[in-house]
Structure 1
């Protein structure tokens, strides 16, 4: 299974939804909290080109945020990406 990295914030409802979807699929992911860590948020922004959380990577693929993750699920593409 591909490594999954989620940049998130503790109180973000979109972060919670994204992590719930991944957990429901049995995915073990590495969570990087950006709260109170401007250097970490800046790193995420540089890598993703976005400032909002969550920002999700599956392997080398930048998925985007929560809505993007759910769109992959609805399209039947999330499981394929997770298996890559």
Structure 2
């Protein structure tokens, strides 16, 4: 019986890029996290389509973009 061939381990010359995936949550989850009413978040999503997307009747929000939206909104009001 032949033994399996062992390939030597080599360090890769290329670097692996770090990928950060967006945190996507439902309106209900965003409502609980942000302590905001769901109807208000749905309105914000309709007015700012880059914050969220709709699948059927359900909205999904990018939490990072929503936080940036509120940070910019509070800076403008000051």
- Normalised to the residue count of structure 2, the TM-score between the two structures is 0.31
- The higher relative CO (CA closer than 8 Å, separation ≥ 6) is in 1
Higher normalized strand content (fraction of residues): 1
Larger radius of gyration: 2
Give TM-score, length-normalised by structure 1: 0.30
